[in-house]
Amino acid sequence: MKQAERPGLHRWTRDEYERLIDHGFLDEDDPVELLDGLLLVKEPQHSRHRTSVLLVARAVERAFGEGWFVQTQSPISLDDRSEPEPDVCVVRGSPRDYVDAHPTRPALIVEVAQSGLPLARGRKATAYARARVVDYWIVNLIDRVLEVHRQPVRPGPAQRHWGYAAIETLGADGTIAPLAAPSAGVRVADLLP
Amino acid sequence: MADYETRTRRFTRAEYERLIDLGVFQPGEAIELIGGELMVAEPQGAPHYTAIRKTAKALEAAFGPGWEVRTEGPIGLDDESEPEPDVAVVPGAPEDYARAHPSRAALTVEVAESSLALDRVRKGSLYARAGLPDYWVLNLVDRVLEVYRGPVPDSAAPFGWRYARSEVLDASAGVTPLAAPGSSIPVWQLLP
């Protein structure tokens, strides 16, 4: 049964979640992230996954340059019930700007997904779109493609949840420019393990 | 792969009790631990609460001295479960449970409106796994009492067990708890 069909599950607030961490119920090595109030267990880190995360971090660091920094598998404060840890985020400024609070709106989020593909396309895409993250990429390790999600849209008659109106799939020979670094070109081949 | 999303962090009963002691949850939040998952209980409508009180009174009369009728009290069922059944009948007196919650009940009752599916399937399976011999679901939607008995293993059930026998009794029928064989309670006495 999907979580979406389990209305009885307790939903954690971000405050409660941070208290769980403070009291030692969860630590930095716990593979858990808070999304829509659910403590989701993260995809296990296979070496292919980890390799892709490092490749993506290096490629987007180069593409964005000065005035931005890249964080990997670190928390962002998305909303009252979501504190996910995307594989890669590009955030404006420098790490010291966030010494008191996690970043809230990355310019780009990238998830590397294998078994977690339904989650990355489903609940995560919904949460990122709702938070108006304008550029969301999924490195799909199963098909070795990059899925580029843009134009967050609110629920309308056609769909029940927030989502992305423009989804483009790029093969390994493709190139993509991040919305916030339009002059840079990132080769999809450079992101794949 | 399709199952991937269903994986949430599970809590043990020891962790759950520590969370309560630390005051992590909002006061009055109706939470119970079911198979490692924190479940939010059904909101209490007036018919629901009335049914709990009527059932507790009827069971107190039926069981008599030597039994304690608990309403919405925790049961330390197993290492990953601490449900709070709407009504549970346990042996002894209140002070017997001053140090630890009871771990078993002679009779367990859930009053169900919107939670019917949860109470029948998930809780039914959990209670069967714990060997609770007598489980009643007071179904307010159809105004009937569902009586579940005879726990048996069943790999298709959520917790690997289910009740072999179920009986649906309407308001005019009478019911006899397994642990109070000399009594008979009219079902209408339980309904709001």
- Token pair of B49, please? 């609460």
Stated as kind and residue range, the H or E segment containing A53 is helix A47-64
pLDDT of residue B3: 42
pLDDT of residue B5: 53
pLDDT of residue A97: 92
Q: Using the beta-carbon criterion (under 8 Å), do B4 and A115 form an inter-chain contact?
A: yes
Backbone angles phi, psi at A136, to 5 degrees: -130, 120
pLDDT of residue A157: 66
Q: Is A115 on the interface with B (CB under 8 A)?
A: yes
Q: CA B82: distance to chain centroid?
A: 10
- DSSP code at position A9: B
Interface of B with A in 82-121 (CB under 8 A): 115, 118
The upper half-sphere exposure of residue A150, i.e. CA atoms within 13 Å in the direction of its Cβ, equals: 13
pLDDT of residue B138: 98
Domains, chain B: 43-189 (3.90.1570.10)
Q: Using the beta-carbon criterion (under 8 Å), do A117 and B1 form an inter-chain contact?
A: yes
Q: Could you list the mean pLDDT of each consecutive 10-residue stretch along chain B, which spans 192 residues?
A: 60 91 79 90 86 98 97 94 96 94 96 90 95 97 97 96 97 97 97 96
Chain A contacts of B22, Cβ < 8 Å?
A: 19, 23
ipTM: 0.73
Question: Is the entire prediction scored with pTM above 0.90?
Answer: no
Cβ proximity of A82 and A127 under 8 Å: yes
Q: What distance in Å separates the CA atoms of residue A76 and residue A82, rounded to the nearest whole number?
A: 8
The secondary structure of chain B, three-state, reads CCCHHHCECCCCHHHHHHHHHCCCCCCCCCEEEECCEEEECCCCCHHHHHHHHHHHHHHHHHHCCCEEEEECCCCCCECCEECCCCEEEEECCHHHHCCCCCCCCCEEEEEECCCHHHHHHHHHHHHHHCCCCEEEEEECCCCEEEEEEEEEECCCCCCCEEEEEEEEEECCCEECCCCCCCCCEEHHHCCC
Q: Using the beta-carbon criterion (under 8 Å), do B8 and A41 form an inter-chain contact?
A: yes
pLDDT of residue B191: 97
pLDDT of residue A3: 42
Residues of chain A with pLDDT below 70 are 1-7, 156-158
pLDDT of residue A2: 43
Q: Distance (Å) from the C-alpha of residue B15 to the closest C-alpha of chain A?
A: 8
Chain A contacts of B8, Cβ < 8 Å?
A: 3, 9, 38-41
Cβ proximity of B159 and B139 under 8 Å: no
